[in-house]
Amino acid sequence: MTQEAIKILLVDDEVQFVDTLAERLSMRGFTADIAYNGTSALEKVANTQPDVIVLDLRMPGMDGFAVLKAVKQRNPQVQVIILTGHGGDQEAVIAGRYGAYSFLRKPTDIDALLDSIRMAYRDKVENAFVAASFAQAGDIDSAREVMAEKDLLQG
């Protein structure tokens, strides 16, 4: 698959930052959708089924943790990368427990972010492939296990 095929959703209330980031991603051949708050992020996840979400933690209204939790409950296969300016160790541990794929601190380098997006996408595709192979072979339990790995993370 080409990189253009990765569906990215950027979630951040800092409009200047996130607009510029989307523009720079598009210059590198990636298409990124934008949500400026948590509620609109969840709507977009339901409507467009992104592959990778780049999520800020501190936002007015619904914060990043709430978004992460909701996304992982409804669409566990979606990969979520946390990108935050308020990232302490505690936050990283909590994000990991809620099933975040990785945890990046602002200000971050666009190449580091892209690496993380690519790796998250690759893992998502691999998981889906493994689950599909099991399902095809009639081993529904193992297929569920592969997908359920994400459910475990929410415990």
Partner 1 sequence: MHVLIVDDEQAFAAPLAERLSLRGLKAQAVTSAEQALASLADALPDIVFLDVHLAESDGISLLQSIRQHYPALDVIMLTGSTDMQTALRAMRYGAKNWLPKPISVDTLLEECVKAAQRQRQRAHEQHLAELDRLRSLGRIAEGVAHEVNNPLNIIMQAAGFIEDLLESPACRALPQHQAMAQAVSTMSRQSLRVRELTHSLLMVGLGLDPRTQPVDVPSVLHQTLALVAERAAQQQVIITEALAPALPRPLWANAELQQVARNLLENALDAMPQGGRLHIAASLCASPPTSMELEEEALPEHEPVHSYALTFTDTGCGIAPEQLPHIFEPFYTTRAHGQGLGLAVCRSLVQGCGGSIRAYSTLGKGCRMCLRLPLAPEAKPQKSPPSNAR
Q: Which residues of the chain form contacts with partner 1 (CB under 8 A)? A: 14, 16-17, 20-21, 23-24, 27, 85-86, 89-90, 93, 96-97, 99-103, 106-108, 110, 123, 127, 149-150, 152-153
Q: CB 102 → partner 1: shortest distance, Å?
A: 5
Closer of 20 and 43 to partner 1 (Cβ): 20
Nearer to partner 1, 74 or 86 (CB): 86
β-pair partners for 33: 9
- 8 A C-beta contact, residue 51 and residue 78: yes
Residue with smaller CB distance to partner 1, 107 or 138: 107
Q: Specify the residue, 110 or 140, whose C-beta has the smaller distance to partner 1.
A: 110
Tokens of 134: 């099991």
Sheet holding 79-84, edge to edge: 31-35, 7-11, 52-55, 79-84, 102-105
Considering the complex, what minimum distance in angstroms separates the CB of residue 150 from partner 1? Answer: 8
| CB of 106 vs partner 1, minimal distance in Å | 4
* CB of 67 vs partner 1, minimal distance in Å: 17
